[in-house]
Every structure is written in structure tokens, then in C-alpha cells.
């Protein structure tokens, strides 16, 4: 299962150049299965297009203590900027480092009927017209995926 993530142009350019290899997010895509290839499709908020995709190598959950021992510098953010992003310095809830692998440039304009995610969304639940860019597309709704998880 893949993800579409909205990202500001400044951060997209750093990912594209290979300088930024960790994306910091407040939430975890729970439906991703370990040991499968997953991709993040980057929706650039400036150009209003999906301009690339990165392989999602792994996701690491961090808390306030582990943040200081992490590879945070690969996110192109300081510890203070990460603390500000997650809501201040008094208490840092769990945050997630999305480790990025191979980057591939794309140039895909979203159909006018589709709105980009505010943060991220599962690729298969909203962007059905974009199936052609991912031949491994899983065409199930959130409800179907939830039911499938419950049956396991």
C-alpha cells in the first residue's frame, strides 16, 4: 500500500536532491505491512502536482528521550524545529521518522475532482484515477481494509 503526502516545495527540493532522507510526521500509516515495498508519492503544494516518489525504507517511532539519540539531522530540521512541529518543548508525544529510499521524479497533475491530502493519505482510498502510476495498486476501501484486518 502506498501513500500520497503533501509537502512544501522547500522540503520537496531537499528530498529530490537526496539531502533530506528522513520525513518527520506526527502520525503513523498503520496499514503498511513490514517487508513489503511501499512508496510515498510527493504532492508539491507549490506546483500542485505529484512530482516524485520515494521508497519508504522504514518508519521509526520516537519519543522525547530517543529524539536526542536519533538521526534527526537527516530530516534537515533541528531538534528545536522538531519540538515546535510536534507542539512545543514541554512534552513531545511519539513522532515518526519516515526513512526514505530511492527517489524517482514524476510529473502528475491531480484530476480537478480530487483534493490533495492535508498531511498524507493512503494512495488507494482517494486517488483511484491515478492507478496507472502504480501497477501494484490495491483497490480496496478503508472499510474493506479494516474488515480484512479484523478477520486476521
pLDDT at 141: 43
Under 8 Å between Cβ of 19 and 76: yes
Number of domains making up the chain: 1
| Phi/psi of residue 44, nearest 5 degrees | -80, 120
Question: What global pTM score does this model have?
Answer: 0.77
pLDDT at 22: 96
Domain boundaries, position 36: 3-151
pLDDT at 133: 46
CATH for 80: 2.30.130.30
Q: Which candidate, 39, 29, 47, places its Cα nearest to that of 110?
A: 47
Give the mean pLDDT per block of 10 residues along the chain (152 residues).
92 97 89 77 94 92 82 92 74 81 91 83 63 42 54 60
Amino acid at each position: 500500500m502506498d501513500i500520497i503526502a503533501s509537502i512544501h516545495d522547500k522540503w520537496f527540493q531537499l528530498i529530490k536532491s537526496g539531502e533530506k532522507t528522513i520525513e518527520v510526521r506526527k502520525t503513523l500509516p498503520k496499514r503498511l505491512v513490514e517487508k513489503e515495498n511501499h512508496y510515498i508519492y510527493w504532492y508539491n503544494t507549490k506546483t500542485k502536482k505529484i512530482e516524485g516518489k520515494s521508497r519508504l525504507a522504514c518508519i521509526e517511532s520516537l519519543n522525547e528521550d530517543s529524539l536526542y539519540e536519533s538521526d534527526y539531522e537527516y530530516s534537515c530540521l533541528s531538534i528545536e524545529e522538531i519540538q515546535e512541529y510536534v507542539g512545543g518543548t514541554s512534552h513531545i508525544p511519539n513522532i515518526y521518522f519516515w526513512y526514505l529510499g530511492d527517489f524517482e521524479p514524476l510529473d502528475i497533475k491531480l484530476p480537478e475532482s480530487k483534493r490533495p491530502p492535508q498531511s498524507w493519505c493512503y494512495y488507494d482510498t482517494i486517488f483511484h484515477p491515478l492507478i496507472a502510476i502504480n501497477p501494484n495498486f490495491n483497490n480496496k476501501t478503508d472499510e474493506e481494509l479494516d474488515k480484512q484486518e479484523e478477520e486476521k
